[in-house]
Structure 1
Amino acid sequence: MEKHAFLPVLLGSDINAYGMARSFHEEYGVTSLALASFPLAPTRYSKIVTVQVHESLVDPEAFLAIVLEQGRELSARYDKLVLVPCGDSYAELVSRFQRELSEFFIVASPPHDLLETLVNKARFYELCAAHGIAHPATRIITAQDARDVDALEIPFSFPVALKPSDSVSYLDVKFEGRKKAYILDSADEVRHIVGEIYAHGYTDTLVLQEYIPGDDSQMRVLNAYVDATSTVRMMCLGNPLLEDHAPDMVGNYTVIRSSSNQEVYAQIQKFLQGIGYVGFANFDMKLDARDGSYKLFELNPRQGRSSFFVTLAGYNLARFLVEDRVFGRQTKTVYGDHESLWMQIPKRVFLRYVQSAKEKERAKALIRAGKWGTTLRYAQDMNLMRWLILLRMDMRYFQSYRRYFSARSANSEGVL
């Protein structure tokens, strides 16, 4: 049997997974395999990614058994298997089991103890402070605090931001009014939400922070790839111009203009190499106009769901991983400086709801110049069924922004 050079094995079926499949296809002409617990619209009816559904894939024991079984089978047909997690839960599982998975797969993941520190926001901010990385002023709330919530002290002026330290375990917490993150205007609101979160099964700490003023266009997102020697090989900065405003989607970018900032690049490069990071990293930060600093909100130990903006800007995400781990070729560190526009939503939605007039005109110029694109509208993978899916997604964005967007919510982002 003829063996092929390598196969990308993606974990997930969302827009992140499709963006990585498209990156692999554009650069190497390969069709990816995606393993997922549920089939999602972005990867349906695709010719560039084959989705296998395993409902128990998010269970740790089942995950290891399923992925190892796939590794044994696929290794007979491919020289190398490249494992790419496309979600928080999968990133944690890959890091936890990377020793076992490495028998069959190339695994570019940080050590598990480091990952646990990075994904826990309370511990992450401690690490930032130790490395001189600016972040919003923070107060940690514990389950013990919630037992006497009326006595909870709030050391910041309002509004304030509130979010869970452990976003993965928070996924299982359900109650009326639940959001990914909160902007709250009074002590009563803070105490009510804290009480609700702990009353519905959350056990980790909460993060209460000062609010960094500014609309969506003050946010920044940075994607990086760090090679097997913990050397940063690529960084690309993006300027989100609009975010999703639906309660469960807060913090997900829908329009990004790629940009650059050498000072930010230098700081993040030093941080990643200093902590011994490996693999893809996705940072969210916000420009604090009060002092001109960029305040870091979080690090996701994977490429972001909107990270196709990096490939669109000319820095194909798959290429850096494959050159490092499949072909073993060192590359010079790339600092993204190309400007392009990535959009997940229809142009009409963006032009109606973007708050910054300056950024609106800049984006329109990029559109006129043809320097824009989307993750899902890939000419080599379009067919009638995918066109209908994308049309339905567009209609939902029109409805969602009409329902949830307001100038108040646009100035309430950056709480991630």
Structure 2
Amino acid sequence: MVSLLDNEVPVLLARIGNYPLHHGSLGVVRTVGRLGVPVHAVVEDRFTPVALSRHLRRGIVWPTTGREEPERLADGLLSIGRAIGARCVAVPTDDEAAILLAEHADRLKECFLLPPVPAHLPRLLACKASLHRICCEAGVPSPRSRAPESRDELVDAGRELGYPLVLKNLAAFSRLRTPAVCGSTTVVPDERELLDRFPDAPPPVLVQECIPRQQAEDWITHIYCGAGGVPRVLFTGLKLRSWPPYAGMTARAVALRNPELARLAERLCRRIGYSGLADLDWRYDRRDGQYKLVDFNPRTGAQFRLFENVHGIDVVRAMHLDLTGREVPDGPQAEGRVFVAGQLDFPSAAAWLREEGRVPSDLLRERPTERAWLCRDDPLPAVAEAIRFTGLVARRLMRSARSGRAGCP
């Protein structure tokens, strides 16, 4: 395996925005760093957990918010690439970085090896409204959705789709500049709460039908496509729990082969000519027996280390092999791998216990194959994450307590 990758071609972990507790970034550093590939990473500060990984060659402190002008961000990436001194494989871990790399590829290819994705495509796929249109044109099921621009359209969308409703930030960059909801997803039970949330014209927001969780399963597809949307590796898995429950990041998942879902993902990528890394979220709707595409993230997903094929190739390794002109070993995915995102798994299991009245069966049956943070050969990131996560929770509890005291008579 070590001999497969070109150790003369470094990797740059490209990030836009402030999210220091991101285990997917650490996964990128570890998966290629362990194989001797030099890894450089954009980090928020010197003590970001990923910056402490023993597999990282260099952490480049470059705080960004996503509110900067794209040209300025592209200039920053170019400066970083020139400082590294060799053309890198750039691996985006957020939608904004993926869009920036695609739309400024003509300039950035001076320093970076990039997949030949159509420049406009990542932005369209990251936008929930245009993704819904793309799915309709490609014949890929997706939940009914609307993107209202006024309060009247918001009311009409709610009455058309029915309650409860799912609200999502509409697009990359706008979710950082003018977020409509905190986090990725919010469910509103009725029209009154919807209008209370948006007393004026709503910011960019997607209103989507809610598939009842009792009638649903959450599935994920991770894929790396070469030129023309041809998959070089494609994996499918079942999301067991998330945090916040049923609507947030993957807390625990298992790799399961799903040929129908794989065919849908491949058909979509070939149809639109997508090239690069992608993380697709699906919801299986038992009411009509369809897998419905919820999100298409045109970058590596936080839980990508859930998946490998039988040759030990994940999507990031496949990308490095492909962009350096090397063969990507073909083979079926390794079945039954279990991914656990430490600090998210405990509250998700507690929420399950509270609602279901029993311990989740996967805790008793399935032992983690891949942990997001804990790792014997790289312990410091887990220590840093625990300290920062504990501080984050403490600050939120203190704010909540102060708010409660302020509201007492």
TM-score tier, shorter chain, comes to: 0.7 to 0.9
Whether 1:285 aligns to 2:295 is: no
Residue matched to 1:380:
377
- TM-score by length of structure 1 reads 0.80
Counterpart CA distance in 1 for 2:334 and 2:263 is 14
What one-letter code is carried by the residue in structure 2 that aligns with 1:360?
Answer: P
Residue deviations 1:390-413 (CA, integer Å, cap 9, x gap): 43367579989x99xxxxxxxxxx
Residue matched to 2:165:
160
Query: How big is the shift at 1:304?
Result: 0.9
Whether 1:272 aligns to 2:269 is: yes
Q: Secondary structure at the match of 1:162?
A: strand
Q: Secondary structure at the match of 2:107?
A: helix
Counterpart CA distance in 2 for 1:357 and 1:296 is 30
- TM-score by length of structure 2 reads 0.81
Match of 1:259 among 256, 260, 269: 256
Counterpart CA distance in 1 for 2:333 and 2:7 is 32
Whether 1:187 aligns to 2:213 is: no
Query: How big is the shift at 1:231?
Result: 1.1
Residue deviations 1:49-75 (CA, integer Å, cap 9, x gap): 221112358432332222222333433
- Report the count of equivalent residues: 381
Change beyond 3 A, Cα 1:53–1:351: same
Whether 1:9 aligns to 2:12 is: yes
Residue matched to 1:407:
none
Match of 2:327 among 307, 326, 329: 329
**Aligned pairs (5 A) from 1:192-271:** 192-195=196-199, 198=202, 202=203, 204=204, 206-214=205-213, 218-245=217-244, 250-271=247-268
Counterpart CA distance in 2 for 1:359 and 1:315 is 34
Residue matched to 1:310:
307
Change beyond 3 A, Cα 1:90–1:40: farther
Q: Secondary structure at the match of 1:195?
A: coil
Residue matched to 1:111:
118
Match of 1:93 among 95, 100, 103: 100
Q: Secondary structure at the match of 1:284?
A: strand
Is the CA contact (8 Å cut-off) linking 1:259 and 1:339 kept in structure 2? yes
Residue matched to 1:74:
84
CA RMSD, aligned part only?
3.4
Residue matched to 1:46:
53
Counterpart CA distance in 2 for 1:4 and 1:178 is 40
Counterpart CA distance in 2 for 1:42 and 1:24 is 17
Residue matched to 2:133:
126
Change beyond 3 A, Cα 1:179–1:55: closer
Is the CA contact (8 Å cut-off) linking 1:42 and 1:376 kept in structure 2? no
Residue matched to 2:71:
61
Is the CA contact (8 Å cut-off) linking 1:282 and 1:303 kept in structure 2? yes
Match of 1:35 among 32, 36, 42: 42
Counterpart CA distance in 1 for 2:247 and 2:201 is 17
Counterpart CA distance in 2 for 1:217 and 1:51 is 41
Is the CA contact (8 Å cut-off) linking 2:373 and 2:382 kept in structure 1? no
Q: Secondary structure at the match of 2:173?
A: helix
Residue deviations 1:205-250 (CA, integer Å, cap 9, x gap): x32222101169821111100013431011111211121129xx95
Change beyond 3 A, Cα 1:398–1:257: farther
Change beyond 3 A, Cα 1:358–1:188: closer
Counterpart CA distance in 2 for 1:372 and 1:330 is 23
Query: How big is the shift at 1:282?
Result: 0.8
Match of 1:391 among 368, 386, 389: 386
Counterpart CA distance in 2 for 1:152 and 1:352 is 34
Is the CA contact (8 Å cut-off) linking 1:31 and 1:47 kept in structure 2? no
Give ranges in structure 2 of 5+ residues lacking alignment. 1-5, 399-409
Match of 1:83 among 67, 90, 96: 90
Residue deviations 1:100-146 (CA, integer Å, cap 9, x gap): 1112210126222122221121111111011111111223312xx32
Q: Secondary structure at the match of 1:29?
A: coil
What one-letter code is carried by the residue in structure 2 that aligns with 1:288?
Answer: D
Residue matched to 1:409:
none
Is the CA contact (8 Å cut-off) linking 2:151 and 2:201 kept in structure 1? no
Q: Secondary structure at the match of 1:380?
A: coil
Is the CA contact (8 Å cut-off) linking 1:349 and 1:398 kept in structure 2? no
Change beyond 3 A, Cα 1:56–1:303: closer
Residue matched to 1:338:
335
**Range with greater deviation from structure 2 (227-236 or 281-290):** 227-236
Change beyond 3 A, Cα 1:398–1:310: farther
Change beyond 3 A, Cα 1:146–1:8: same
Residue matched to 2:402:
none
Q: Secondary structure at the match of 1:116?
A: helix
Is the CA contact (8 Å cut-off) linking 2:219 and 2:282 kept in structure 1? yes
Counterpart CA distance in 2 for 1:154 and 1:182 is 17
Is the CA contact (8 Å cut-off) linking 1:254 and 1:343 kept in structure 2? yes
Change beyond 3 A, Cα 1:243–1:53: same
Query: How big is the shift at 1:310?
Result: 1.8
Counterpart CA distance in 1 for 2:201 and 2:24 is 28
- Share of identical aligned residues, percent? 19
Change beyond 3 A, Cα 1:38–1:274: farther
Query: How big is the shift at 1:254?
Result: 1.4
What one-letter code is carried by the residue in structure 2 that aligns with 1:18?
Answer: L
Change beyond 3 A, Cα 1:110–1:363: farther
Is the CA contact (8 Å cut-off) linking 1:217 and 1:239 kept in structure 2? no
